[in-house]
Amino acid sequence: MTITYRPKGVCSRLMRVEVEDGIIRQVEVQGGCSGNLQGISRLLVGMPVQQAIEQLPDASQTVLSTWVLIIVSTFSLYYTLTGYCDMARGLANLLGMDFPENFHYPFQSRTVSDFFNRFNITVTKFINRYVYIFLGADTNGVLSTIVKTLLTTMLMGVWFGLRLNYLVWGVYFAAFILLERYFLMRFLVRMPPIVDRIYTFVVVMFSFTIFSGGTLRMTGYYIRSMFGLNGLPFWNSDIYYILTTNYLVILLSFFFATSLTGLLGKTVRSRWPKLLDALGLPALAWSAPADEMLAAMKRDKKARGGIVRFVLPRDVGDWELVDVEDDVILEHLAAWQGSKG
């Protein structure tokens, strides 16, 4: 007998289990995390079906665990996206290019409109310029503005992929942007900044429930669970254990998503010499004479016969090792040191 199951709201697309005389003979999973699923599948092969069922953990979802899941998923998506962009900017800087910032502390936004000015900034600017402004921006009345706002935010959602959830994500944001413009802003400007930021964070968090839900049905399930409408207990020992063992990670997720990290960095840099001196360590020298830097480069594993070699790309997937004379390197090092004043 072959059992086929199509899961919802997860990475796996299809699960197929072959059972013979109550014994699992083969397990096939399409999509998802290949390594983990292959390991689990091999553990199940040869196991009685009843034993496999008994070894499954009891359902441990609670109202509190659903809230934690959504908050953690929100930060996970943010750090994934901003991490990719920061790596691209860092690599570009190594090649002498300056890429624009794409995420500027979006969770410090005081309004949903401000959130879009800080989140995925380059895409937002591109769509605003070539769609919203091209169509006339706020001209031609309220109805025209509503249509343009809807079109703009839906395109921002489609940028992530052609899925219904992403379109609904855009419609959701359009609703709050329009509510702020025509109604809420008069109240938000009177509120303390902390209240505005909490309001925006909650709105954004619910948006990522739509974004990460996989399907609208799964999104609805998460939202109902968050408000205790699925008959789930408020909490249990599992979520207590998760929170007490991982609270520091969650707190750091909040901290590193704020501009407090920049303030901390400036404070550390300004007091770095005193800190090193207190620890009895020598001050760090951020520069060296050109000849010393050249000598260090010649100790690189790519150097041959006292000649420094660089790996240079010729085309996508194609590269070459190029010998560079000492005089050329010294000339560029001197120019670089001169540019630092």
pLDDT tens for each residue of 44-78:
888 888 787 766 654 578 999 999 989 998 999 89
Structure confidence at residue 290 (pLDDT): 85
Whether the pTM exceeds 0.75: the reply is no
* pLDDT tens sequence across 192-233: 999 999 999 999 999 989 987 777 888 888 899 899 998 889
Q: What DSSP assignment string belongs to 235-286? A: --HHHHHHHHHHHHHHHHHHHHTSTHHHHHHHHHHHHHHHHHHHTT-PPPPS
Mind giving me the DSSP string for 111-141? SHHHHHHHSSHHHHHHHIIIIITTTTTT-SH
How far from 33 is each of 14, 36, 39, 186, 209, CA to CA, in Å?
Answer: 13, 6, 10, 48, 21
Predicted pLDDT of residue 272: 77
Radius of gyration over alpha carbons of the chain, in Å? Answer: 27
The predicted structure's pLDDT at residue 75: 93
- The predicted pLDDT at position 291 comes to 87
CB under 8 Å to 309, separation ≥6 — which residues? 302, 303, 321, 322, 323, 324
CA proximity to 325, closest of 302, 301, 309, 304: 309
CA–CA distances in Å: residue 171 to residues 177, 239, 269, 304, 333:
10, 33, 44, 60, 53
CA–CA distance, 147 with 134 (Å, rounded to integer): 13
Low-confidence ranges of the chain (pLDDT < 50): 58
Say what the pLDDT of residue 3 is. Answer: 86
From CA 53, how far away is CA 3, in angstroms rounded? 14
